[in-house]
Structure 1
Amino acid sequence: MPAPGPGQVRVKLEGCGVCGSNLPVWEGRPWFDYPLPAGAPGHEGWGRVEAVGGGVEHPSVGTRVAVLSHHAYAEYDLVDACAAIPLPAILDGQPFPGEPLACAMNVFQRSGIKPGTTVAVVGIGFLGALLVSLAVKAGARVIALSRRRYALDVARRLGAMETPSSDDVRGAVKRVKALTNDVGCDCVLEVAGEQSTLDLATELTRIRGRLVIAGYHQDGPRTVNMQLWNWRGLDVINAHERDPQQYVDGLRAAIAAAATGRIDPAPLYTHRFALEELPRAFELMRSRPKGFLKALVLP
């Protein structure tokens, strides 16, 4: 059992979310180096501080925290103290995969969604569902698009006014145009990280609208319809943060949102696995059967 170094805390993990960005690692794509360090690439962990290193005053031993790390598929993790953010008592007993919740808050902040705007969310997984909920509660008219019926059912329960299937691209574009008087959407969030969803999101964004890239396009280059981007004068936002402080700020915002009821991620955690069942969690995430949205692994 490693002792925490200066500025570190050791966290006894209660669980870790399983992220879609981990699938290529599990599949063995050639751009990764193996073997990975123990606990990698789990980055959605939470737990309780068990020991602190030199110079650490907060968080103290016994504090329940969400952590920003990359080794949380484990029973314990060593984390910089500044990346272990305390969870309030109102969230006791609730899973809290902080990184994707922080990501949702950061994407939403970058999107500039205001009351009365028409917003399309293309790709309804865990992140897409959170963004639907945030946009609805901000007073936007939300259109949710996905290939999966179950995901569209989730979006409707969260308040989406329309839920076209993205399987029929032409039909989806036609439906959105009809809903917006042939104008398109003020803001479109692309959340799936695929060429097809990027193309569809472009088509749905109105002249001088905002196209927000929230999907993780990690498997190679993409092509864009630059003619359409130019003609419509789109504002294109890459909503992936790389500033560590912004991650922390987003996590604090997510904790506050969950504590006040602005977000309620609990219904979106659809499957739970023991740590040794992690391969089953990955396989389920790859196949995405009916009823699947987000898996958690619990040591």
Structure 2
Amino acid sequence: MKALQITGAGEYGIANVPQPTILDDQVLVRITLVSTCPRWDIAMLGGKDMFDQTRPPDYPLPPGFPGHEAVGVVEAAGPSVQGLRPGDRVAALEHLQGQGAYAQYMAYRERDLLKLPDTVSDRKAVSTELLKCVVLGLDQFEDVKGKSMLVAGLGPAGILAIQVARLWGARVIGIDVSPERVAAVNALGIGEAVLADSLGDRRFDLGYDCVGAAPSVQNVLDRTNEHVVIFGVLRGELIYRDRFWMNGIKLESHKARPVTERYRRLLLDVLTRPEMNTECLQTKQISFKLYAEGVETLKRQEAVKICFNPQEAF
């Protein structure tokens, strides 16, 4: 099969690699659509490790890496797989170590896939892995109904967060430093968005930061009365002010945890809501031959995400 492989900073090619073999509890999936995860793609092609930007990644990256937001069709299932069979459409929730979804086929554990109803298109489901992470982060608030919430950063995670929080009953405002991103969110009609420096003295019950840069998190924390969750990868240091301690404001990072049956129901509920717009994330669909150009487009914030059909894009 064919897979994209990043071999160095700014360098990549198309590799011919063996089709994955599956274990008893795994399924083989033919990938029909895969989406970029901008920070991963920008960092890994740009010569910086995703979590430690003082050093480069270990090149060459595994074939298909860092692709992980994917949807596809089950081709084969191991003998201990109970809930999936060939022909089922599935979205990835996790991936096996050492594999990447910028490839024509992937092996997954059954528990790392979400079976999709026919009513949910590939384009709507392709970023379910990101949606899962956003849902897990918002669930750390325990109950958002009736609460006011500030969501910082209107990239892919923020666009999903403002919609899910609204579906769950929160009163949400999204902020960004980019006028183009603010205008785009408002034009989509998926929630209210304003420039970060236009909030005045407004305060919120809850804060959800999808940026990670310390100035953004600090701004959210300074405007929140009860609870802040940092979804983005934190870079820099924060000040936990005296009044935060006096008021009992809770500050925590996003917590990765297993996808329980409850979370599967929440994800399917969100994905099947007509008012939930996840297709808007996929700004462009291109060939892997244009991967570097696509990453540059992401860096310039001229696209939210870019998707590829691995059965055709090589």
* TM-score past 0.5 threshold: yes
Residues 278/94 of structure 1: CA separation in 2 closer, same or farther (3 Å cut): same
Identity of aligned residues (%): 22
Deviations 1:176-203 (A, max 9, x none): x2xx4xxx21001111121221121122
Instruction: Find the partner of 1:192 among 198, 202, 211.
Output: 211
Amino acid at match of 1:3: T
Instruction: Give the aligned partner of residue 235 of structure 1.
Output: 250
Cα displacement (A) at 1:107: 1.8
The runs of 5 or more residues in structure 2 that have no matched partner are: 1-18, 49-54
Deviations 1:94-150 (A, max 9, x none): 442220111122122113353332111111111101111122233332221101223
Instruction: Find the partner of 2:61 among 36, 46, 63.
Output: 36
Structure richer in helix, relative to its length: 1
- State the aligned residue count: 278
Partner Cα distance (1:93, 1:155) in 2: 22
| Contact 2:28–2:74, Cα closer than 8 Å, also in 1 | yes
Partner Cα distance (1:20, 1:113) in 2: 30
Amino acid at match of 2:87: G
Which stretch has the larger CA shift, 125-134 or 20-29?
A: 20-29
Partner Cα distance (1:88, 1:295) in 2: 24
Partner Cα distance (1:89, 1:66) in 2: 12
Cα displacement (A) at 1:45: 1.0
Residues 55/265 of structure 1: CA separation in 2 closer, same or farther (3 Å cut): same
Cα displacement (A) at 1:46: 0.9
Which stretch has the larger CA shift, 248-257 or 118-127?
A: 248-257
Q: TM-score, normalised to structure 1's length? A: 0.84
The alignment status of 1:130 with 2:157, answered yes or no, reads no
CA RMSD of superposed structures (Å): 2.3
Instruction: Find the partner of 1:274 among 281, 284, 287.
Output: 287
Partner Cα distance (1:92, 1:234) in 2: 40
The alignment status of 1:213 with 2:224, answered yes or no, reads no
Partner Cα distance (2:174, 2:121) in 1: 32
Cα displacement (A) at 1:18: 0.8
Amino acid at match of 2:233: Y
Partner Cα distance (2:169, 2:293) in 1: 39
- Equivalent residues in 2 for 1:1-299, closer than 5 Å: 1-22=19-40, 23-29=42-48, 30=55, 32-67=57-92, 68-69=94-95, 70-96=99-125, 97-156=127-186, 157-158=188-189, 160-161=191-192, 163-166=193-196, 168=197, 171-172=198-199, 174=200, 177=201, 180=202, 184-206=203-225, 209-217=226-234, 222-228=236-242, 229-241=244-256, 243-245=257-259, 250=263, 252-261=265-274, 263-289=276-302, 292-299=303-310
Partner Cα distance (1:262, 1:249) in 2: 21
SS of 2:272's partner is helix
Amino acid at match of 1:284: T
Partner Cα distance (2:74, 2:190) in 1: 37
Residues 140/84 of structure 1: CA separation in 2 closer, same or farther (3 Å cut): closer
Partner Cα distance (1:123, 1:146) in 2: 5
Deviations 1:271-296 (A, max 9, x none): 2222332222221111102xx22222
Amino acid at match of 1:227: R
SS of 1:111's partner is coil
Partner Cα distance (2:138, 2:305) in 1: 20
Partner Cα distance (1:105, 1:153) in 2: 24
Q: TM-score, normalised to structure 2's length? A: 0.80
Residues 227/114 of structure 1: CA separation in 2 closer, same or farther (3 Å cut): closer
Amino acid at match of 2:112: A
Deviations 1:140-162 (A, max 9, x none): 3222110122321243344544x
| Contact 1:15–1:95, Cα closer than 8 Å, also in 2 | no
Which stretch has the larger CA shift, 256-265 or 123-132?
A: 256-265
Amino acid at match of 2:161: L
Residues 132/281 of structure 1: CA separation in 2 closer, same or farther (3 Å cut): same
Amino acid at match of 2:280: P
The runs of 5 or more residues in structure 1 that have no matched partner are: none
Amino acid at match of 1:60: R
Which stretch has the larger CA shift, 106-115 or 96-105?
A: 106-115
Cα displacement (A) at 1:44: 0.6
| Contact 2:64–2:100, Cα closer than 8 Å, also in 1 | yes
Amino acid at match of 2:72: G
